[in-house]
Structure 1
Amino acid sequence: MPTSDWPTTSARINLRTPDGHCLHVRQCGRDSGEPWLVLHGGPGSGCAPSMAAWFDPLLHRAVLPDQRGAGRSRPAGTLRRNTVTALLADLEQLRVALGIERWGVVGGSWGAALALAYADRFPDAVSALVLRGAFLTGFDDVQALFNARGAGRDLLQSIDGRGEGFPAARGRLYVATDMLQLGTTVQKLNIARAWQRAEHRLLGLQPQARRQTWQQRMALVRKYRLQAHYLYRRAGLGKSALLRAAARIGARGLPVTLLHGREDNVCRPRNALRLSAAIPHARLVWVPGGHLAVGEMAKALGAAIRASAWSVGV
């Protein structure tokens, strides 16, 4: 059933945080349905309307927030008080504001890392995890994304050689973060355009044929400013810390489903194996295709959500 035909709630709210951020939140489904929190990737991407299609409108209540500075949240693209600690506090504030006792959490890529951190920090708030194409926030993961021989070539060229003296991917991220925040408008636009080309190459997408509007180009600047900010700092998490969090989650017996594309070039399949070792009871599902939540992966997400058996708390 198309989400536009849902005989249910489809509402948008703005959640104001104590420190001056305003989160855009979309809700879909029945108010009495099983509550699910959706954590988007990026960082900085925002929730897409297609994410609501993973849920059964007669059974679920889907909550889709844009994280700080991302999507329609404001102030857009800001790095001010934008840390993983703040993101986790926002999610807990949102849960309490909506009157939800416990919810399932589904996250993809960066959203999977944030979901693990949230379930570890607030164990009583989470009833199940569905993690797609998990990103483990290690420098080796970043290196695999942006290396001189691969997709990162576009990013390297866009900083005019200023990163040559820095070690590998971290140096490029350092320069990109600086320029996306303090550079001229032309420098910011060039970095964002190069980053998008690198991203499209990794995802196997064709370059955009249409000329982007000014608003679209500036939205990319804000998106990649956030992404560089988090990737350079390993999101304040790091792979070792995230795997320790996964092990604690595993020890509690929380229902966990791991979905990973067999041809995922963005978040390597070995990430799923590392998480599976840390959470031995987790159900690991290999899905044909790459990193994006489309096609078979979108079907697998819907099936995993429906199959998750947990006590509803509303």
Structure 2
Amino acid sequence: MPETQTTDSAAPRRRLYPPREPFRSQVMEMPGGHRVYLEECGIKNGQPVVVLHGGPGGGCSPGMRRFFDPTHYRAVLFDQRGCGRSSPHASVENNTTWDLVADIERIRESLGIERWIVFGGSWGATLALIYAQTHPERVEALVLRGIFTMTRGELDWFYGGGAGAFWPDQWRAFSHMVPAEERGDLITAYNKRLFGEDEAEQIRFARAWAGWESQLAMLAGGAGRGTPSGAYARAFARLENHYFINGGFLETGDQIHRDMHRIADIPGHIVQGRYDMVCPPVTAQKIHENWPGSDLVMVPDAGHALSEPGISEELVGIMDALRDAARESRRQDNATL
């Protein structure tokens, strides 16, 4: 069985790279009436890595560019259908997991990339695993944070009172947005309001939905964003709810776990916060145990957010190690010529 590592708090700190603007950005027309925002950072001929953001519906942020050495990597970031700078905003039409997997392939082909590292956290880790299981020949390595696999148990934990047992005041505010008779299935109850005809009600429930997750994202509580804006919250909540009420559009609830054999030979690097209230560590441990090519680092003083210092440091360290390995491999290849 693969071993789980715990970070050493006395180890040297690995800092994010300085802020950097993309060297190219564009909007790609996708089937089904969607227009997807895409940007590339680093160097044009660098080692390619695609960044899959969380949510669904979270969108990419400038901070996500900072995990990759800009002298080595060609980092590809894009806003998934319906969120961020993609349009139509907050749309769930033609917006499924399989549409996103197909979009990733369209992006790869349009950029002339043969294989790439796939980097994602939370829902981004879900999408990364599904993409890799669908197109294993296109994946050089997976770098994942805060594993979520779209099982009923994970959804019940976060929307059925499990996490609420640790955050009872926030849980009461979230769950009491709907009448008592509907609180047994909050995903369905919120769905009625998020997709109702009253846009003001949509935004009110969207902010409650997004706020519940935001408050639990960091170990210390709160994600440093305060109350999410109406436009962001509406896209985030509608897309998350749409995916969750449809079980992620997967064949079975355990599909990701069932298909782990398809990526057995792909190197995997998992970073998990020990006190992750959004995506509990048991899921990362289970994935790790069924993935011979993986390593798992449990960060002892971290929750769920990408911005948790311990999580950021581990991810930068992993990407630097993959950079060094690629450079050493290239050096050896040149030496044999």
TM-score with structure 2 setting the length: 0.83
Per-residue CA deviation, residues 270-296 of structure 1 (Å, 9 max, x unaligned), is 011110111023111111311111211
Contact 2:132 2:139 in 1 (8 A): yes
User: What does residue 53 of structure 1 align with?
Assistant: 66
Which one of 11, 19, 23 corresponds to residue 3 of structure 1? Answer: 19
Percent identity reads 35
User: What does residue 144 of structure 1 align with?
Assistant: 157
Q: The residue matched to 1:92 in structure 2 has which SS?
A: helix
CA separation of 1:191 and 1:306: change in aligned 2, threshold 3 A: same
Q: Which runs of 5+ in 2 are unaligned?
A: 1-16, 165-169, 331-337
Aligned: 1:153 with 2:165 = no
Q: The residue matched to 2:297 in structure 1 has which SS?
A: strand
Q: Which runs of 5+ in 1 are unaligned?
A: none
Q: The residue matched to 1:56 in structure 2 has which SS?
A: coil
Aligned: 1:240 with 2:254 = yes
CA separation of 1:297 and 1:239: change in aligned 2, threshold 3 A: farther
Worse overlay, 178-187 or 199-208: 199-208
Contact 1:162 1:175 in 2 (8 A): no
Q: The residue matched to 2:270 in structure 1 has which SS?
A: strand
Contact 1:120 1:245 in 2 (8 A): yes
Displacement, 1:15?
1.0
Contact 2:136 2:262 in 1 (8 A): no
| Mapping 1:224-239, distance limit 5 Å | 224-237=237-250, 239=253
Q: The residue matched to 1:130 in structure 2 has which SS?
A: strand
- Whole-Å Cα distance in 1 between the matches of residues 266 and 210 of structure 2? 36
- Whole-Å Cα distance in 1 between the matches of residues 181 and 46 of structure 2? 52
Which one of 261, 271, 275 corresponds to residue 287 of structure 2? Answer: 275
Which one of 204, 210, 213 corresponds to residue 196 of structure 1? Answer: 210
Displacement, 1:187?
1.8
Residue 21 of structure 1 aligns with an amino acid whose one-letter code is H
Q: Please, what is the CA RMSD of the aligned residues?
A: 2.1
Contact 1:145 1:152 in 2 (8 A): no
| Mapping 1:1-314, distance limit 5 Å | 1-4=17-20, 10-148=23-161, 150=164, 151-161=170-180, 163-164=182-183, 168=184, 171-203=185-217, 204-205=221-222, 216-237=229-250, 239-250=253-264, 253-288=265-300, 289-294=302-307, 295-308=309-322, 309=325
Contact 1:146 1:153 in 2 (8 A): no
Contact 1:257 1:284 in 2 (8 A): yes
Worse overlay, 234-243 or 28-37: 234-243
CA separation of 1:152 and 1:54: change in aligned 2, threshold 3 A: same
- Whole-Å Cα distance in 2 between the matches of residues 245 and 126 of structure 1? 15
Worse overlay, 216-225 or 56-65: 216-225
CA separation of 1:263 and 1:66: change in aligned 2, threshold 3 A: same
Contact 1:25 1:64 in 2 (8 A): yes
- Whole-Å Cα distance in 2 between the matches of residues 158 and 207 of structure 1? 23
Displacement, 1:90?
0.4
Per-residue CA deviation, residues 244-273 of structure 1 (Å, 9 max, x unaligned), is 2223211xx111111101111110000111
- Whole-Å Cα distance in 2 between the matches of residues 96 and 189 of structure 1? 37
Displacement, 1:206?
6.9
CA separation of 1:209 and 1:20: change in aligned 2, threshold 3 A: closer
Q: The residue matched to 1:182 in structure 2 has which SS?
A: coil
Displacement, 1:224?
0.3
